[in-house]
């Protein structure tokens, strides 16, 4: 696993790069690969924060 892969974002349908370095990081942390691009993830995080406060 040392190649960048492309994942289609579940929210906006755009393809985004899941880099080899990120894959390694996610693997080490035991995270599942992201399903959304960075901007959609940021948007979701912001929305969640707004609900909390």
Give residues in contact with Zn ion (CB under 5 A). 9, 11-12, 37, 40
Instruction: For residues 12 and 6, give the distance between their C-alpha atoms in angstroms, rounded to a whole number.
Output: 14
* CB-based contact 20:1 (threshold 8 Å): yes
Between 30 and 44, name the residue whose CB sits nearer to Zn ion. 44
Q: 13's torsion region: left (phi>0), alpha (psi -120 to 50) or beta? A: left
Q: How far is the CB of 35 from Zn ion (least distance, A)?
A: 9
């Amino acid at each position: 696993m040392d190649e960048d892969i492309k994942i289609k974002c579940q929210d906006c349908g755009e393809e985004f790069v899941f880099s080899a370095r990120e894959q390694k990081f996610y693997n080490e942390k035991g995270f599942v690969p992201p399903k959304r691009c960075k901007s959609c993830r940021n948007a979701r995080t912001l929305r969640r924060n707004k609900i909390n406060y």
